[in-house]
Amino acid sequence: MKCIIGIESTAHTFGVGIVGLDGKILANIKDSYTTKEGGMIPLEVRAHHAKVGEMVFEKALKEAGILEEDLECIAFSNAPGLAPCLLEGMSFAKKKAVYLGIPIIAVNHCVAHLVIGETCGAKSPVMLYASGANTQIVAFVGGKFRIFGETLDLGVGNFIDSLGRSMGLGFPAGVQIQKLALEFEKLETKNKVLEPRLLELPYSVKGMDVSFSGIQTKVRGLIEAGVDNREIAYALQETVFAMLVEVAERALAHTGKNELLIGGGVGCNSRLQEMCRVMCEERGARFFCPPNDLLTDNGAMIGYLGLKMFQAGLATRDLENVDIKPRERTDEVEVLWQKNFFG
Ligand code: FE2
């Protein structure tokens, strides 16, 4: 059976996805760099990707039940991301392309997060992309993936991780923060409080953009002052997610679209999902939330968009002219694969 393979390596995850020519995801294997202390050191992450690459690749082939010879084309994420990690993914993809004698396709990671929404039914969504490095509201309008709002400073995931570090939680910290926030809510309910106490944090929405540095400063002060981590985690989630949902709602109103898609690792947070769902219900929009393994960085979404590009004749054997673009913005991507895609 002929397949497309997708390689993801923009940040802490090395992922390999295998997609059939009919668009069916046959395998989605990943291995992510984690650490108990500190954040991501790009060269260490690159070394991680180099170490696990072949193993993840083999596992994916096995899971899909295919042989190397079945691979028709190799897609890899060339943008945006940490340069050392992107380079590792590209060198892996090029080596395989040469060895297997197949063409290659460079895929924009952010666009792949949006396009994979199609597999859960989204047709023309506004995407709230909330991950470590990225926080954007994106939609396809007028032939381009346009950014309607974004963070003015930190990516929401990196911001939450930085506060998690100050609280002594490991990396990534999102799951721990969610657990602490839930604990606080339960505690307050036990104390028969109708609405859990909400510490006041600087709610910072500027036009369609958001900013987290003010909250970061305030929360660091609260941690130093010895405020209960659970109470901080609760206020952090409520405030930050309300900001994201507010700009997502405004983008829906502005574009006239009636579908919201969530993407990115922070999208795995069930409180954020709940707030999105409530907002969509209130305005009669549909909410699409891919499963966690497609929300977080993964090779399947790279393979899935790679397939569309491959079918549009965009694969190349000219490896010399394929390069990484660590800073490419979503709205710089030329959408050559499908004219009316998500129009
Ligand atoms: Fe991502």
Rounded to the nearest angstrom, the distance between the alpha carbon of 112 and the centre of ligand 1 is 9
Query: So what's the pLDDT on residue 40?
Result: 76
pTM (2 d.p.): 0.95
Rounded Cα gap, residues 59 and 72, in angstroms:
18
Rounded Cα gap, residues 21 and 207, in angstroms:
42
Query: So what's the pLDDT on residue 57?
Result: 98
Rounded to the nearest angstrom, the distance between the alpha carbon of 61 and the centre of ligand 1 is 23
Rounded to the nearest angstrom, the distance between the alpha carbon of 281 and the centre of ligand 1 is 26
Rounded to the nearest angstrom, the distance between the alpha carbon of 110 and the centre of ligand 1 is 6
Rounded to the nearest angstrom, the distance between the alpha carbon of 265 and the centre of ligand 1 is 7
Rounded to the nearest angstrom, the distance between the alpha carbon of 226 and the centre of ligand 1 is 33
% residues pLDDT > 70 (the chain): 97
Q: What is the mean pLDDT of residues 63-90?
A: 98
Rounded to the nearest angstrom, the distance between the alpha carbon of 126 and the centre of ligand 1 is 16
Rounded to the nearest angstrom, the distance between the alpha carbon of 188 and the centre of ligand 1 is 34
Rounded to the nearest angstrom, the distance between the alpha carbon of 28 and the centre of ligand 1 is 15
Residue 68: pLDDT above 80?
yes
Rounded Cα gap, residues 283 and 249, in angstroms:
9
Query: So what's the pLDDT on residue 190?
Result: 83
**pLDDT category of residue 38 using cuts at 50, 70 and 90:** low
Residue scoring higher pLDDT (342 or 194): 194
Residue 9: pLDDT above 60?
yes
Q: What is the mean pLDDT of residues 114-127?
A: 96
Query: So what's the pLDDT on residue 339?
Result: 56
Query: So what's the pLDDT on residue 36?
Result: 72
pLDDT in tens, 86-101: 999 999 999 999 999 9
Rounded to the nearest angstrom, the distance between the alpha carbon of 66 and the centre of ligand 1 is 27
**Structural domain spans, the chain:** 3-114+295-332, 123-291
Query: So what's the pLDDT on residue 343?
Result: 43
Q: What is the mean pLDDT of residues 1-5?
A: 94
Query: So what's the pLDDT on residue 228?
Result: 96
Q: Which residues contact 82 (CB under 8 A, 6 or more apart)?
A: 10, 11, 40, 42, 45, 326
Rounded to the nearest angstrom, the distance between the alpha carbon of 298 and the centre of ligand 1 is 8
Q: Which residues surround ligand 1, an ion (CB under 5 A)?
A: 131, 297
pLDDT in tens, 217-268: 999 999 999 999 999 999 999 999 999 999 999 999 999 999 999 999 999 9
Rounded to the nearest angstrom, the distance between the alpha carbon of 10 and the centre of ligand 1 is 8
**pLDDT category of residue 340 using cuts at 50, 70 and 90:** very low
Alpha carbon of 159 to those of 55, 164, 185, 328: distances in Å? 31, 9, 22, 21
Residue 209: pLDDT above 80?
yes
Rounded to the nearest angstrom, the distance between the alpha carbon of 62 and the centre of ligand 1 is 25
Query: So what's the pLDDT on residue 127?
Result: 98
- Strand pairing report for 25-32 and 13-20: antiparallel
**pLDDT category of residue 337 using cuts at 50, 70 and 90:** confident
- How many Cβ atoms sit within 10 Å of the Cβ of residue 93? 26
Superfamily of domain 123-291: ATPase, nucleotide binding domain (3.30.420.40)
Rounded to the nearest angstrom, the distance between the alpha carbon of 186 and the centre of ligand 1 is 31
Domain 3-114+295-332, CATH: 3.30.420.40
pLDDT in tens, 133-192: 999 999 999 989 999 999 999 999 999 999 999 999 877 899 999 999 999 999 988 877
Residue with tokens 């090029």: 94
Instruction: Please report the DSSP string for 39-51 in residue order.
Output: ---HHHHHHHHHH
Residue 342: pLDDT above 60?
no
- Identical fold for domains 3-114+295-332 and 123-291, yes or no, is yes
Residue 37: pLDDT above 80?
no
- 269 near 178, Cβ under 8 Å? yes
What mean pLDDT value characterizes the chain?
95
